[in-house]
Amino acid sequence: MRPTRARLTLFGAALLAAAPLVFAGPAVAEPRGGGGGPTVEERRLELEAPREILRRSGFDTVAPDFARSLEGARSVAEAETVVARDGARLWRRAVERVQGRGPAGGDLSRDDDRPLYWARLGMTRALGEWRPGFPLPDERRAALLTTLERSSRGEDSIDLPAGPRIRRIVVTGFDPFQLDADPRRSNPSGAAALALDGTTIRTERGPARIETAVFPVRWADFADGTVERTLLPSFRSGPRRADGFMTVSQGRIGRFDVERTNGAWRGGYPDNATVSETGTVPIPSGVPTPAPQPQWTTTTLPYGRIVAADTGPFPVYDHTEVTEIPAGGSGPVVRPDGPTPGSAARAGGGGDYLSNEIAYRATLLRDAVGLKAPGGHLHTPVLQFGPGNTDPATGEVTDPEFIRNRLTITEQVRDVLTVAAG
């Protein structure tokens, strides 16, 4: 995700125009306990586009069914069981729909990542509005919400196989974002994650099993350690240790980018909760991390081989540009060939938003635990609607070119990953 430079994506232009107004006040994380009403993200469920996406995928029954299950819980323990079960069920249902298993549930194309996002928000809203007949302190409700988020994103179900005859790869994607400008938006990285989860690819070094997760576009979740909590079990030594990883997000129009360098800086662009954060990337306590915290981390993906390979119709670039404050300097400088010694990060190759941050966190964790494996960040092309369907006020939630673009991006992500894993 690269919304901080309007020249890089059409999606960023409208929001960037209002950026000074957003950045003027301090960032405040949105309360997630009961009694506060629906969140910013949940309120978007009232728009017509999300309703249509849910209806045309059959996912419009997810939140009502979950609410009924919650009503049947007679204790916190029973509620925990319901939340974990239904969250995992939503993730499996989304994966199976994208991968062509079971009924489609409607005429929305199977490759669509949006039903998962909007159905999850229906569930979190139902959990926030639930008033059980037993005491449920805010902290317990918040813990239930965490369980729901993790289980419905695949974060707690990464299951890499053991054994020397198969390689193990972790891939991550993101939710749709910039939804106030256009609530119809999809995120090709999330679609690719759903398409790849639990699949096996054939590489030059043999078969490789892929396990995936999809992350929120929210600063607070990253500060709370959702990335490290998800990746650490696969990064630590052991028979199921990952042999490679790739964090994926949406980037520029018409191109893929392998991001060479990641920076320890949050640029403040509003997230899906309309919260802004500016400053050094905060590392949660309790996770392995180098000290002192480095300003930069680098990819270990084989970018030369990836760029040289024929992976699909979109060009793939080894992207080396960063923005830094040079050692002894006072202002930001764009460096086309990476950072200079002793500089302070202001944007990695992937910018200063959450795509840069997930790349920084994942590679920092890689270095902290000594994982010697290819890993880094891939930016996909921007997923665009077809001509005549670009106005969210009058446009359709899908069209043939939109579907074709998403399928093409997903297939090229798979081919890039095949090269990287080989």
The 3-state DSSP composition of the chain as helix, strand, coil percent (nearest 5) reads: 40, 15, 45
Q: What is the pLDDT of residues 131-176, one digit of tens each?
A: 999 999 999 999 999 999 999 999 999 999 999 999 999 999 999 9
Q: Same structural domain for residues 235 and 253?
A: yes
Q: Same structural domain for residues 12 and 100?
A: no
Q: Same structural domain for residues 189 and 101?
A: no
Give the chain's radius of gyration (CA, Å). 21
The predicted model scores a pTM of 0.93
Q: Same structural domain for residues 148 and 176?
A: no
Q: Same structural domain for residues 3 and 51?
A: no
Q: Which position has the token pair 């209002």? A: 18
**CATH number of 171's domain:** 3.40.630.20
Q: Same structural domain for residues 383 and 360?
A: yes
Give one DSSP letter per residue of 308-360, joined into a string: HS---SS-EEEE--EEEE-TT-SS-EEETT-PPTTPEEEEBTTBSSHHHHHHH
| Confidence label for 381 from pLDDT (cuts 50, 70 and 90) | very high
| Confidence label for 36 from pLDDT (cuts 50, 70 and 90) | confident
- Between CA 355 and CA 377 the distance in angstroms is 8
Q: Same structural domain for residues 331 and 187?
A: yes
- Which of 152, 177, 210 is the endpoint of a domain? 152
Q: Which position has the token pair 């403040």? A: 268
- Between CA 90 and CA 113 the distance in angstroms is 12
What is the model's pLDDT at position 410?
98
Worst-scoring range by mean pLDDT, 18-27, 87-96, 172-181, 228-237?
18-27
Q: Same structural domain for residues 171 and 189?
A: yes
- Between CA 225 and CA 212 the distance in angstroms is 17
Percent of the chain with pLDDT over 90: 91
Q: Same structural domain for residues 121 and 172?
A: no
Q: Which of 188, 341, 190, 197 is nearest to 256 (CA)?
A: 188
Q: Same structural domain for residues 182 and 209?
A: yes
Q: How many domains does the chain have?
A: 2
Q: Which helix (H) or strand (E) holds 365?
A: helix 354-369
Q: Helices 62-71 and 76-98, interaxial angle, to 10°? A: 160
What is the pLDDT of the chain when averaged over all its residues? 92
Percent of the chain with pLDDT over 70: 92
- Which of 152, 170, 192 is the endpoint of a domain? 152
Determine contact, residues 375/306, Cβ cutoff 8 Å: no
Q: What is the pLDDT of residues 288-310, one digit of tens each?
A: 999 999 999 999 999 999 999 99
Determine contact, residues 105/126, Cβ cutoff 8 Å: no
| Confidence label for 239 from pLDDT (cuts 50, 70 and 90) | very high
Q: Report residue 318: phi and psi, to 5°.
A: -85, 105
Q: What is the pLDDT of residues 79-134, one digit of tens each?
A: 999 999 999 999 999 999 999 999 999 999 999 999 999 999 999 999 999 999 99
- HSE, CB side, 13 Å, CA atoms: give it for residue 156: 12
User: C-alpha distances in angstroms, 365 versus 45, 204, 231?
Assistant: 35, 27, 8
Domain containing 42: what range?
A: 32-152
- Output DSSP code: residue 6: G
Q: Same structural domain for residues 325 and 249?
A: yes
- Which of 110, 132, 152 is the endpoint of a domain? 152
Give one DSSP letter per residue of 23-61, joined into a string: HTSPP-PPP-STTS---HHHHGGGSHHHHHHHHHHTGGG
The mean pLDDT value for 193-198 works out to: 98
Q: Same structural domain for residues 204 and 88?
A: no
Query: C-alpha angle 331/284/161, rounded to 5°?
Result: 115
| Confidence label for 17 from pLDDT (cuts 50, 70 and 90) | very low
Q: What is the pLDDT of residues 328-361, one digit of tens each?
A: 999 999 999 999 999 999 999 999 999 999 999 9
